[in-house]
Structure 1
């Protein structure tokens, strides 16, 4: 058995964590957006998720502001749980381990994106059609499509 298979979270683990995600934890993700953005843009293996995380953050913010409610709580909780996991220093595999440290983070993000893909696409469509979308947001959204 490969070491990464032993320490990599599976669907069941991620689902359990998502079901336990609270509104306060989602708010914590919003507060830590700067740290998350820095991490996603500087860690080579996480860069492919950088634009996706931008869209997820926009969705969470619009949901919390009451601008976008056409999304199930499960999707918001899944995003919040995944992003908190990525930010957490207490992973299954500590991030400081070279070569392996971010495998669990990538796995969690991949699982969650697979679950919420259709909700993300609906949000992208809605956001691009909304008049209040800033040019900067529109650029990020188009890049993520």
Structure 2
């Protein structure tokens, strides 16, 4: 199957992820990613008021096979439905803004986790690599 990043419909964030697969130190790709909006699934147990509040984002937390908690975000609806086909709501959030408020615990972030260009970062990596001044 051809990934969306390999066709003309790839988003800038997907192209940045592809570049980071080749070179993890690509600062231009990191900047593009940090300045991109990502889809953050709204947890099923989030109240409607919480889901609509522009000042807060309820983070969906999944458990990795090794037990580590991870927050999945996506560069497109297609990427999201491949991993989480039953998600009914999501929010568009600037990744850099999300990263600048990332908790300091062991919560990781995975971007397009089911794709060939997926990227998972530790909490330190999220704050260090993706948080950008607003």
Q: How high is the TM-score relative to the length of structure 1?
A: 0.29
**Structure exhibiting the larger radius of gyration computed from Cα positions:** 1
Report 1 or 2 for greater relative contact order, CA contacts < 8 Å, sequence distance ≥ 6: 1
For normalisation by structure 2, the TM-score amounts to 0.31
More strand by share: 2
Give the helix-richer structure, 1 or 2.
1
